[in-house]
Chains A and B, each alone.
Chain A
Amino acid sequence: EVQLVESGGGLVQPGGSLRLSCAASGFTFKNSRMHWVRQGPGKGLVWVSRINGDGTTTSYADSVKGRFTISRDNAKNTLYLQMNSLRVEDTAVFFCVVQLRGVVYWGQGTLATVSS
């Protein structure tokens, strides 16, 4: 069974940083492209970033480029999202997502709140 468990969310002031983690199991993590998707309060889903299986290729939404960094540790089956220079508008639930044989699996999400 595919499982994705996010952690690391919390309350941070504008300009601060957070590091999100996603522990993955139930599939071959090192071979799988991974994504982060966020959802602001009462808002829709927004794709944030992706990384390929060996970590050599990444891509970001324009809204987070230069501030967020996606990475992975295949030895630990863990995906990360380092979020710097956070803004109030970054407040959202962040989902760890994997696409396997066409199907997209979601974690339950972790809430990051940016507020003074």
Chain B
Amino acid sequence: QAVVTQEPSLTVSPGGTVTLTCGSSTGAVTSGHYPYWFQQKPGQAPKTLIYDIINKHSWTPARFSGSLLGGKAALTLSGAQPEDEAEYYCLLSYSDDWVFGGGTKLTVL
């Protein structure tokens, strides 16, 4: 099965901008992988932030955006808030099977 890679940890200053990435061991991430981004806070279930590369759910703050960047899926946070400190997971689909990235622990400091 494929391996999906994410940065293990990143730090952003309050009000700053940070980009998390999601790569695939099989090559470039494309729309055919239907990239997802989830946010998970301690003790909570994950919550969908972004689906199909760029689409947001009704509860997704406007400061989050998704894209494809350099062969990877990317999640950009512009104007970080203290409440954005969390673990972020990407998900890629491979012929209807799912593979999660290892997660990025985002610190707002």
- The interface of chain A, by Cβ under 8 A from chain B, is 33, 35, 37, 44-47, 50, 59, 61-62, 95, 102-109
Residues of the B chain whose Cβ atoms lie less than 8 Å from the Cβ of A107: 45
Stretch of B20-28, B50-58, B64-72 that contacts chain A: B50-58
With A103-B57, A104-B36, A104-B38 already in contact, the answer to whether A47 and B45 are too (CB < 8 A) is no
- The interface of chain B, by Cβ under 8 A from chain A, is 1, 34, 36, 38, 40, 45-48, 51-52, 55, 57, 87, 89, 91, 96-103
Q: In whole Å, how far is B93's beta carbon from the nearest beta carbon of chain A?
A: 9
Decide if the interface of chain A is mainly helix, strand, loop or mixed: strand
Residues of the A chain whose Cβ atoms lie less than 8 Å from the Cβ of B48: 103-105
* Contact yes or no, A45 B46, CB < 8 A: yes
Cα A33 to Cα B36 in complex, Å, equals 17
Partner of A47, one of B34, B51, B57, B100: B100
A-B pairs under 8 A by CB, number: 51
Partner of B45, one of A44, A50, A61, A108: A108
Residues of the B chain whose Cβ atoms lie less than 8 Å from the Cβ of A37: 98, 100
Cα A108 to Cα B103 in complex, Å, equals 19
Question: What are 16 residue pairs bridging A and B, where the CB atoms are less than 8 Å apart in the complex?
Answer: A33-B96, A44-B101, A45-B40, A45-B91, A45-B100, A61-B1, A61-B97, A102-B34, A103-B48, A103-B51, A103-B57, A104-B36, A104-B51, A106-B47, A108-B45, A109-B45
Cα A103 to Cα B96 in complex, Å, equals 15
* Contact yes or no, B96 A50, CB < 8 A: yes
